């Protein structure tokens, strides 16, 4: 199996672990990618784009409060 095929077949647990880390830590994208088991930030970004249709950083972005 090619490296590209392996990265696309990354277990969903890696993506859910990464999503949890995005939501609960201030770790960098690089730290989260490797802690969740992705071999590179590029594969991490590609997996999130495939799964969520968005980049990891856009998922982390919190809505800003509007003060009226």
CA dihedral 10, 13, 15, 21 (to 10 degrees): -140
Confidence of residue 15 (pLDDT cuts 50, 70, 90): confident
Query: What's the pLDDT band for 68 if we cut at 50, 70, 90?
Result: low
Return the pLDDT at 29: 93
Threshold 0.75, pTM exceeds:
no
Q: Which domains does the chain have, with CATH numbers?
A: 3-60 (1.10.10.60)
């Amino acid at each position: 199996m090619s490296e590209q095929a392996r990265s696309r077949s990354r277990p969903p647990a890696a993506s859910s672990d990464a999503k949890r880390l995005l939501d609960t830590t201030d770790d960098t994208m690089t730290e989260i990618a490797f802690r969740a088991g992705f071999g590179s930030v590029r594969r991490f970004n590609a997996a999130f784009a495939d799964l969520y249709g968005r980049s990891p950083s856009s998922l982390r972005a919190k809505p800003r409060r509007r003060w009226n």
